[in-house]
Amino acid sequence: IPAQAAPPLPSWNEGPTKSAIVEFVEKVTKKGSPDFVPENQRIATFDNDGTLWAEQPVYFQLIYAIDQVKKMAPEHPEWKTEEPFASVLKGDMKNVIASGKEGLMKILAATHANMTAEKFRANVSDWLKTARHPKTGRPFTEMVYQPQLELLDYLRANGFKTFIVSGGGVDFMRVFAEKTYGIPPDQVIGSSLKAKYEVKDGKPIIIKLPEINLVDDKEGKPVGIHQYIGQRPIFAAGNSDGDYQMLEWTTAGAGPRFGIILHHTDAEREWAYDRESHVGKLDKALDDAGKKGWTVIDMQNDWKTVFPPAKQ
Amino acid sequence: IPAQAAPPLPSWNEGPTKSAIVEFVEKVTKKGSPDFVPENQRIATFDNDGTLWAEQPVYFQLIYAIDQVKKMAPEHPEWKTEEPFASVLKGDMKNVIASGKEGLMKILAATHANMTAEKFRANVSDWLKTARHPKTGRPFTEMVYQPQLELLDYLRANGFKTFIVSGGGVDFMRVFAEKTYGIPPDQVIGSSLKAKYEVKDGKPIIIKLPEINLVDDKEGKPVGIHQYIGQRPIFAAGNSDGDYQMLEWTTAGAGPRFGIILHHTDAEREWAYDRESHVGKLDKALDDAGKKGWTVIDMQNDWKTVFPPAKQ
Ligand SMILES: [Ca+2]
Ligand SMILES: [Ca+2]
């Protein structure tokens, strides 16, 4: 008799949400069951911002970009008068956002491009060590959801291959995804810039170019899944309308499928937001979850804990 | 005392090439060794055409495209006079090749795009079942190199994650890579077309567009590795100048690295070609292999067997 395994998903409250997840995993892994899915087809995709880690008050990657602009400012005296940099330096986020796509592209180019992939990785890694969340004071890699970490582990223990499919920058997420989520770099799919290979002074380098390669959001998510994973997931989790198409694509396939929407309902332990939010807007996907058969996680009721205990 | 494992690489002749491979694998997997590489960094990338399967008399994917044009011809009476289709239908390959990039793009658009990813997959799968190699009469998936299948297995048994990084079409290779090489779709990187997601008559589909997304050849290989794998391999294998940059990028990294060039030297069991070949041209990479420290496989001398035994 094998030792009894610890019950799965300890940070999830008992109830229909947890039961639905466990029932799904049990039926697709049960040999001989009509719902059995071979291991090489057990593909699970997770959005990142607002699904695996928090996204308030703004996307953490935007906080990174702003911190980098501030750090680089001494070498760019022209930024004192050049928008959107001047507003970033003054902390006038309203003006930064008002600069629109063009402004954000300038910030992206300055902080994410025109450098080697190696340099970018080192910058993000350094930032993660010292940067702290403005509300909780915790490292950003501790602003992850404990129940989701358990869900990832549970799926992998049951032969699933877990992927991130996120609108966030792929090179940004790859710096911490393996250590934080147990998801290796090649299983992280995200928005990306074009890149170029060259040999400079005898040293081969990859340079990040200030040009969009893939916007891995909305219709871009099934496209990213097609290009990077090459097969349709049977399990997908998201938290916003940006995940609508990923969930639709995943759950429209034949055989057993599972779609999850994380609904941020917990103003006390995390944040409560949905239809009107400037990040993670959840409107159409919430309306359609019922008819699409997607499971809506009610953070306040379904989760015993939100964040993992502090490491120090 | 554990049962003794079968000796690795049985289809490789004893000699410096096999020894170099085995020594490399043993040193990077030996805990405590200065050359030890943790499992999550044991990334191995293989070119496909001419490295894992044959590529003579022409790339097999081109044979697929030509067969598809012939199959589709009855629905396209205009092709009788429209180039390059007219030449394809007459079997005038010289004229087809003379049609250049523009002509090949037309063939690609007709046979690889403007259809769902699902339909394309089914077409390739059907073709693989019945198509036979023009010289050997064998299914194309049996035109693979037995010693390389053993090398893939050996690397995986030693904790390597094996990837294909090929100039060939990613959607084409993904149809057979898992069954043939044990490499799942998400570990296959290749040239690709852009794609689009849409819901048609209530059914979500991915459509392959007649527009290049990535040319995964030459400088495109390290770029593909960056975008899809997100870390530098420690082991790379190729057979042509198209692999130069992948080998350069791989072996220029710090710590132990291994680069392989398969030299087609066996006119009797396979084909002998290199500097002047219209496929798999191997010139600069052969010249530089010595100074770059790449191991050149001499097919005739290093391989006991070339192809696996026939399945039927
Ligand atoms: Ca999200
Ligand atoms: Ca090749």
B254-306 tens-digit pLDDT: 999 999 999 999 999 999 999 999 899 999 999 999 999 999 999 999 999 99
pLDDT of residue B97: 84
pLDDT of residue A97: 84
pLDDT of residue B123: 98
Residue whose C-alpha is closest to residue B259's, from B221, B300, B303? B221
Gyration radius (Cα) of chain B, Å: 20
Q: What is the pLDDT of residues A74-112, one digit of tens each?
A: 999 999 999 999 999 999 988 988 888 899 899 999 999
B155 and B213 share one domain: yes
Across the A:B interface, residue pairs with CB atoms under 8 Å apart total: 97
Distances (CA, A) of A161 to A27, A37, A40, A234: 17, 13, 8, 11
Helix then strand count (H, E) for chain B reads 13, 9
The answer to whether residue A112 sits within a structural domain is yes
A64 and A52 share one domain: no
**In chain A, % of residues over pLDDT 70:** 98
Strand-strand pairing, B115-116 and B203-214: antiparallel
Q: Do B231 and A197 touch (CB under 8 A)?
A: no
pLDDT over 90 at A311, yes or no: no
pLDDT over 70 at A1, yes or no: no
Q: Model confidence at A245, in pLDDT bands (50, 70, 90)? A: very high
Nearest Cβ partner of A40 from B178, B203, B229? Answer: B178
Q: How far apart are CA B88 and CA A193, in angstroms?
A: 38
Calculate how far, in angstroms, residue A246's C-alpha sits from the geometric centre of ligand 1. Answer: 12
Q: How far apart are CA A66 and CA A87, in angstroms?
A: 10
pLDDT of residue A100: 87
B251 and B165 share one domain: yes
The encoded tokens of residue A114 equal 């025109």
> How many residues are given for chain A?
312
Instruction: Provide the shortest C-alpha distance from residue B213 to chain A (in Å).
Output: 9
The answer to whether residue A243 sits within a structural domain is yes
CB half-sphere exposure, A20, CA atoms < 13 A: 15
Q: Model confidence at B93, in pLDDT bands (50, 70, 90)? A: confident
The answer to whether residue B97 sits within a structural domain is yes
A282-291: list long-range contacts, CB under 8 Å, 24+ apart: A282/A239, A282/A240, A282/A241, A283/A241, A284/A241, A284/A244, A285/A238, A285/A240, A285/A241, A285/A243, A285/A244, A285/A247, A285/A261, A286/A261, A288/A244, A289/A259, A289/A261
pLDDT of residue B238: 98
B175 and B268 share one domain: yes
- Per CB-CB distance under 8 Å, the chain B contacts of A186 are 161, 163, 186-187, 228-231
CB neighbours of residue B23 within 10 Å: 14
Q: How far apart are CA B159 and CA A177, in angstroms?
A: 20
- The CATH number assigned to the domain holding A268 equals 3.40.50.1000
pLDDT of residue A312: 59
Distances (CA, A) of A84 to A63, A93, A101: 15, 10, 11
Q: Do B197 and A245 touch (CB under 8 A)?
A: yes
Distances (CA, A) of A92 to A95, A105, B149: 6, 17, 59
Q: How far apart are CA A246 and CA B57, in angstroms?
A: 42
CB neighbours of residue B14 within 10 Å: 10
B81 and B152 share one domain: no
Q: Could you say which of A105, A130, A155 is where a domain stops?
A: A130
CB neighbours of residue A38 within 10 Å: 9
List B residues 44-103 in contact with A (Cβ-Cβ < 8 A).
Answer: none
The encoded tokens of residue A302 equal 């379904």
Q: Is A178 on the interface with B (CB under 8 A)?
A: yes
B114 and B158 share one domain: no
The answer to whether residue B10 sits within a structural domain is no
pLDDT over 80 at A246, yes or no: yes
The encoded tokens of residue B110 equal 């007709």
pLDDT of residue B4: 65
A151 and A190 share one domain: yes
Q: What is the pLDDT of residues A168-220, one digit of tens each?
A: 999 999 999 999 999 999 999 999 999 999 999 999 999 999 999 999 999 99
CB neighbours of residue B300 within 10 Å: 17
Q: Is B184 on the interface with A (CB under 8 A)?
A: yes
Calculate mean pLDDT across residues B95-107: 90
Q: How far apart are CA B73 and CA B60, in angstroms?
A: 20
Q: Do B170 and A230 touch (CB under 8 A)?
A: yes
Q: Is A200 on the interface with B (CB under 8 A)?
A: no
Q: Do A226 and B206 touch (CB under 8 A)?
A: yes
Q: Is A38 on the interface with B (CB under 8 A)?
A: no
Quick check: B239 and B261 in contact, CB under 8 A?
A: yes
Cis omega (within 30 of 0) on the bond before B57? yes
Nearest Cβ partner of B195 from A117, A188, A226? Answer: A226
B156-161: list long-range contacts, CB under 8 Å, 24+ apart: B156/B182, B157/B8, B158/B25, B158/B29, B158/B42, B159/B29, B159/B39, B159/B42, B160/B42, B160/B43, B160/B44, B160/B235, B161/A184, B161/A186, B161/B42, B161/B43, B161/B44, B161/B187
B177 and B226 share one domain: yes
The answer to whether residue B65 sits within a structural domain is yes
Q: Could you say which of B130, B163, B178 is where a domain stops?
A: B130
Calculate how far, in angstroms, residue A144's C-alpha sits from the geometric centre of ligand 1. Answer: 13
The interface predicted TM-score (ipTM) is 0.96
Q: Model confidence at A6, in pLDDT bands (50, 70, 90)? A: confident
Calculate mean pLDDT across residues A225-249: 98
A81 and A20 share one domain: no
The answer to whether residue B307 sits within a structural domain is no
Range of the domain at B75: 60-130
Quick check: B62 and B68 in contact, CB under 8 A?
A: no
Q: How far apart are CA A9 and CA A211, in angstroms?
A: 41
- Sequence-separated (6 or more) residues with CB below 8 Å from residue A27: A33, A35, A36, A256
Residue B62: φ, ψ to 5° = -70, -40
Rounded to the nearest angstrom, the gap between the alpha carbon of residue A9 and the centroid of all alpha carbons in its chain is 20
Quick check: B190 and B47 in contact, CB under 8 A?
A: no
- Number of domains chain B is built from: 2
Residue A58: φ, ψ to 5° = -145, 165
pLDDT of residue B3: 61
Calculate mean pLDDT across residues A114-142: 98
The answer to whether residue B8 sits within a structural domain is no
Q: Do B206 and A187 touch (CB under 8 A)?
A: no
The encoded tokens of residue A236 equal 């997908």
A44 and A87 share one domain: no
A189 and A277 share one domain: yes
B271 and B293 share one domain: yes
pLDDT of residue B19: 98
Q: How far apart are CA B60 and CA B58, in angstroms?
A: 6
Q: How far apart are CA B9 and CA B173, in angstroms?
A: 24
Rounded to the nearest angstrom, the gap between the alpha carbon of residue B228 and the centroid of all alpha carbons in its chain is 16
Residue whose C-alpha is closest to residue B306's, from B5, B45, B56, B24? B56
Task: State the best of B226, B248, B292 to mutate against chain A, taking most chain A CBs within 10 Å.
Answer: B226
Q: Could you say which of B106, B130, B154 is where a domain stops?
A: B130
The answer to whether residue A96 sits within a structural domain is yes
